[in-house]
Every structure is written in C-alpha cells, then in structure tokens.
Amino acid sequence: METVFISKLKPFLDTVSELMEVYVPSKSEEHYTFTRYDKNSDKPIQLNSIRACTPVKEFLFPMRELAATYPESSPPQDIKPFAVLGLKECDLRSIEILDKVFEEDDFRDPLYINRREKMFIIASDCGEPGETCFCQVFGGKGFAESGFDLNISQIKDGFIIEAGSQKGHEFIKEHNKIFAEAPEALVAERNQNRIDIENKLKQANFQIDRNIGEIVENSEESDVFDVEASNCIECQACTRVCPTCHCFYLYDAKQKDYFVKMKMWDSCLRLGYASVAGGANPHKMLGDRLKHRFLHKFVYFLDRYGIDMCVGCGRCIDADAGGIDLREVLKKLNAEMK
C-alpha cells in the first residue's frame, strides 16, 4: 500500500477540489455534518474525531430521487465526480452493506451505481470513540484497512495518507508534488494511535458475550419489543440516520407534461409500511415493527448477505427521541436468554 505524508490539509483539499466537489466534516454544536468544501473559506478544516451524525447513504441513495420518467424515458442523471472526506471505518462498512443490496448481481440499481462510481472516498481514522459508538461489537477497530480510495490519519505534526484503490494510487501518482515520503517514525506514530483507539474501543462499556443474531432470533416470545414500543414515538429518526437502513418506496407524480416515478426513503417503523390493499398487515403493532427491524438487521440480512446490517455507529441512539437504545435492547434480550 502506498503511504505518503502531508503537513497541512489545505493544499491537499485544494487539489482534490479542483477535480471534483469535496464534502468535508464540519462541526455543528456537538455533532459533525458534511458541508461542501470552499477553498476560500478560512473555516479551519478539522478531521472529525468520530463519524458524522448524518449517514453516508445520503451521498449514494438520496432521500428522494428521480427513478424514471414516462411516457418518455430520460437519460440517467449526470452525476459529477465528488469526494467525501472524513468517512470512518463504520461508514465504509455501511457502504459495503449498501453495495450488497444495490449492486446485487441480478439487479444492479442504476441510480445507486451512478453515484457510487463517481464517489471518491477519503476515509480517516477515529480519534476518540463517541459515547454511543459500539463498532467493536462488529469487529470495528476505529480505522479502515480497505474500502477507501485514500485514508488520512492525523498525527501530531501532519497527516499520513494511504491509497486503498486504483483511483487512490493514481491520485497520489498524478499529484506527487503535494506529497512527501512518509518517514518511518511518523508511520509508527500513526500505528501507535491506531493501537490506542482500538484499545479504547475494546474497553467501551458495551460488550456482548453472545452471538447477536442468536439473541435476536430467540426473541420470538420476548415482550422486550412491546415494552420498548411504549417509549417509541414513531418519529422514524433511527431509520433515517441509520447508514445501513435502505428501505424506500416508489411513488408516481405528474409534472407539467410528463409523469415521474420517484424513489424515496421509507421506514419499516411506519404503520402502513407492510400493509396490502386488502387491509392485511403483518406488522400492525409497533412492537412487531421494532422486532422486524432487529430481525432484519441481525438475522435476515446476515442470512442473505453474510454480513450484519449494523455497523455499531450509534447514530440511532443519538437520534432517538423516545430514548430507545439499541445496546440496551440487545442487553435485555441477552439477559432473557440466560
């Protein structure tokens, strides 16, 4: 893997932004969100310590997008190349999960792929784990070893940049002027930081001693979800901010002289989510919908795609207005099994 050094972020970002639009994390109160990079702004660029509060899926699978026009079809939307800086290991895993769904062999979603191919991923190592982070449960280490084009690790006196894809290698090669060779001592510093964050994650307060899929699969008779449902206000925030939740619905609308089919995020917590025209609804009760969400994430998705549909980012915990904490739900289910 190609490893280089930069002392300042700005020349690097300016170079990337000449080629494409760049989204960078910026602090908004205690959270991070992505904003468009402006090279003329003197707002300091800071690599976020933890993942943004918004999910990376927004870049690949926007909340609402045009799926088709008819009677005349229109060419695919012209998506310009874009870069996202500061994606964390958990974000990359969420992309891996979305890829499984939208790039599945027998039907590749052209809208997703259009954006995915244009995305330049500049990941970065985590600093401190956030209060709600629990990626360690899914093997998270706080830094990424694959799934990025470039990865940036902040060290005391600069940044170590690593290429993780052909696109990343080419970028470094073509812009070698802005990069210096990475001194061994600085790479060692980066490696030490990585050991530290991994250790901190290992000590995080949420550990679970049993296979999560097994815990959730065994919840059939449990009333935990019904109890949790009494706190849930059905705001659907957990599914919106979840980087792996990908339910959507299609709706039709009339434009001036043509019709459109739109694709829009949906939430399995919505009452009418699974109901059919005849009135049947397998998830009439909110508790059943919460349970389905867990079963989908930890049992069905794993069964189908070989990976949990949760990355332990904790966004749902931060966002939940009703105070439902996924970690606590799993703990309660685990305790019931004992």
Partner 1 sequence: MKTIKISESFEMDKNLYQPVNGEIVEIIDESPTIKSFVIVPQEPVKFDTGQFVELTLPGLGEAPFTPSSSPAESKKMEITIMKAGHITGLLHQCSKGQKVGIRGPLGNGYPIDDFVGKDVYIIGGGVGLAPIRSLFLTLIDRIKDFKSVTCRYGAKTPQDYIYKKALFGDWQKITGVNIKLTVDEADGKWKDNVGVVTTILRSDDVDISNAVAVVCGPPVMMKYATLKLLEFEFPEDKIYLSMEKNMSCGIGKCGHCMLGKYYVCKDGPVFTYDQIKQYPKIWD
In the complex, which residues of this chain contact partner 1 (CB under 8 A)? 67-68, 70-71, 73, 76, 101-102, 104-111, 113, 220, 246-254, 259, 261, 263, 266, 268, 273-284, 288, 292, 296, 299-301, 303-304
Please report the DSSP string for 66-113 in residue order.
EEEEESS--PPP-PPPEEEEEE-HHHHHHHHHHHHHHT-TT---HHHH
Please report the DSSP string for 208-248 in residue order.
-SS-HHHHHHTTTT--HHHHHHTT-----HHHHH-SS---E
Q: Which is nearer to partner 1, 45 or 268 (CB)?
A: 268
CB of 224 to partner 1, least distance (A): 15
What share of residues in the chain are helix, strand, coil (percent, to 5)? 35, 20, 45
Q: Which is nearer to partner 1, 182 or 242 (CB)?
A: 242
Torsion region of 143: left, alpha or beta (phi above 0 gives left; psi -120 to 50 gives alpha): beta
Q: Which is nearer to partner 1, 51 or 292 (CB)?
A: 292
Q: Which is nearer to partner 1, 110 or 323 (CB)?
A: 110
CB of 249 to partner 1, least distance (A): 5
How far apart CA 20 and CA 24 sit, in angstroms, is 13
Order the strands of the 21-28 sheet from edge to edge.
Answer: 31-36, 21-28, 82-87, 119-124, 150-155, 158-163, 3-6, 180-181
CB of 182 to partner 1, least distance (A): 39
CB of 332 to partner 1, least distance (A): 20
Angle (deg, nearest 10), helices 89-102 and 110-118: 140
CB of 54 to partner 1, least distance (A): 21
Q: Which is nearer to partner 1, 292 or 327 (CB)?
A: 292
CB of 286 to partner 1, least distance (A): 15
CB of 243 to partner 1, least distance (A): 15
Q: Which two tokens stand for residue 119?
A: 């995305």
Q: Are 125 and 154 spatial neighbours (Cβ–Cβ below 8 Å)?
A: yes
CB of 211 to partner 1, least distance (A): 17
Q: Which is nearer to partner 1, 109 or 308 (CB)?
A: 109
Half-sphere exposure of 220 (CA within 13 A, CB side): 4
Q: Which is nearer to partner 1, 192 or 249 (CB)?
A: 249
Q: Which is nearer to partner 1, 104 or 174 (CB)?
A: 104
> Which helix H or strand E contains 27, and what residues bound it?
strand 21-28
